[in-house]
Chain A
């Protein structure tokens, strides 16, 4: 945990994890964790999506290609989707992506999807802490560029 508690040393690359959270469950779960003042790592940048059914696997792929160090997707538990079936679709697509990323040369441990409901603040804390630790062990994402970009397009 020490790496998470202290500010990054000078020269050490800041780890950035992109989180895609469904508005109805996991975003609420993260909020619950915050309200309950559970200590959480600060590497996660949360993007709120209406439902994991909105989650295009390309969002995660693009984030990883563009150099995000990890991508975490979280939504309502299957059968508890606010829109009844959104996460059933998401489940298949995200599972596909998880198996596909290593083929293209991305470490599969940089991508995870999980289900956390709005009341599960403690579970959220556990998920995000574990994932963040895993990404810290992996270190920064090397990305796909072979040399530094001359312009940031």
Chain B
């Protein structure tokens, strides 16, 4: 995001803030390579909010988990403001569809997004150079330029962007009240977006099993993927943890890991908006989102439905159509 854009963003925030209960956005983290979700209530706090390729968190989750305070008597309830990237906006739509959020309670500031950085990829590429003393980082054209202690280094974007951003079809927010900045051209077409799914599907079935055995064997069942998911709404009633019904024992075998990931995936079938948060937070670098990408492709092919695009649509597995045959 260029300087003018950030000024524009701050202007939009300033204008909106008096009417809002709070504004949820990102603030700078402990160095130039990190940002953190933040809640602003005053103009000073709002002026600290930023947007850059390190604003990797999906704020839809923060909104959904922050219930608005009850309105004062005789007053209309104040709205909650939230900054969204394209992927965050789709999560917001999905949450509105299912009644977890109300559109009229939200003030959405949409930000077109050129992609977010996968810090693990960046660190692997950069080695020790970026461990300390990073002064600034910005996107210039097709590369990420980082001013470090040992001078400036440039990294090609396709080597440091998160996988979800490389296959992003919706860089521009789908739902918003105001838009900060000009729309961005999507990075991937429909076919390219699913090339990782294709790669698995090109394997024979037995090798696919071996692939998932290898990936899921690393799972430590920390449930970070579930906790980061904006649409995992069961939380402490998650059947992966409840004792009644008891779906999973404490035992850490491969079959338990498979069952957990099936639970996570099937509960998101027809709902997942592929924001990629599950994969980002996985400490074991398991391609968790890939499972949901396949489910979404099936849903698209069978039922012609895409999650997080329209607030009016009903998620396909919460409804039915008596006319469909062959299904």
Taking Cβ atoms with an 8 Å cutoff, the residues of A that contact B are 56-58, 61-62, 65-67, 78-79, 85, 88-89, 91-93, 95-97, 99-100, 102-107, 142-146, 149, 151, 153
- Flag if B316 contacts A92 (CB, 8 Å): yes
- Flag if B255 contacts A144 (CB, 8 Å): yes
Of A62, A92, A93, which contacts B247 at CB under 8 A? A62
Is B302's beta carbon under 8 Å from chain A?
A: yes
- Flag if A104 contacts B212 (CB, 8 Å): yes
- Flag if A102 contacts B269 (CB, 8 Å): no
CB distance from B320 to the nearest CB of A (A): 4
CB distance from A73 to the nearest CB of B (A): 14
B252-275 residues at the A interface, CB under 8 angstroms: 253-256, 258-259, 262-263, 265-266, 269-270
By a CB distance below 8 angstroms, the chain A residues around B62 are none
- Flag if A105 contacts B320 (CB, 8 Å): no
Of B213, B270, B298, B324, which contacts A99 at CB under 8 A? B298
Knowing A58-B262, A62-B247, A153-B249 are in contact, say whether A92-B317 is a contact too (CB < 8 A). yes
B249 nearest in chain A by CB position? A153
- Flag if B206 contacts A105 (CB, 8 Å): yes
Knowing A88-B322, A92-B317, A95-B327 are in contact, say whether A144-B262 is a contact too (CB < 8 A). no
Is B291's beta carbon under 8 Å from chain A?
A: yes
29 contacts between A and B (CB under 8 A): A56-B266, A57-B266, A58-B247, A61-B266, A65-B262, A66-B255, A88-B322, A92-B320, A95-B327, A96-B299, A96-B317, A97-B266, A99-B298, A100-B298, A102-B205, A104-B258, A104-B262, A104-B291, A105-B212, A105-B213, A143-B255, A144-B209, A144-B213, A144-B258, A145-B253, A145-B254, A145-B255, A146-B254, A153-B256
CB distance from B219 to the nearest CB of A (A): 12
By a CB distance below 8 angstroms, the chain A residues around B132 are none
B273-314 residues at the A interface, CB under 8 angstroms: 291, 294-295, 298-299, 301-303
- Flag if B327 contacts A104 (CB, 8 Å): no
Taking Cβ atoms with an 8 Å cutoff, the residues of B that contact A are 197, 200-201, 205-213, 217, 247, 249-251, 253-256, 258-259, 262-263, 265-266, 269-270, 291, 294-295, 298-299, 301-303, 316-317, 320-322, 324, 327
Knowing A92-B303, A95-B327 are in contact, say whether A58-B263 is a contact too (CB < 8 A). yes
The DSSP consensus for interface residues of chain B is helix
Knowing A62-B262, A96-B317, A146-B254 are in contact, say whether A105-B327 is a contact too (CB < 8 A). no
- Flag if B320 contacts A85 (CB, 8 Å): yes
By a CB distance below 8 angstroms, the chain B residues around A97 are 266
The 6 A-B residue pairs with the shortest CB-CB distance in the complex, in nearest-first order: A105-B209, A153-B251, A88-B320, A105-B208, A153-B249, A99-B298
CA distance A89 to B320 in the complex (A): 6
By a CB distance below 8 angstroms, the chain B residues around A91 are 320, 324, 327
By a CB distance below 8 angstroms, the chain A residues around B258 are 65, 104, 144
CB distance from B284 to the nearest CB of A (A): 17
Knowing A65-B262, A146-B217, A151-B251 are in contact, say whether A92-B209 is a contact too (CB < 8 A). no
- Flag if B291 contacts A93 (CB, 8 Å): no
By a CB distance below 8 angstroms, the chain A residues around B259 are 58, 61-62, 65
CB distance from B296 to the nearest CB of A (A): 11
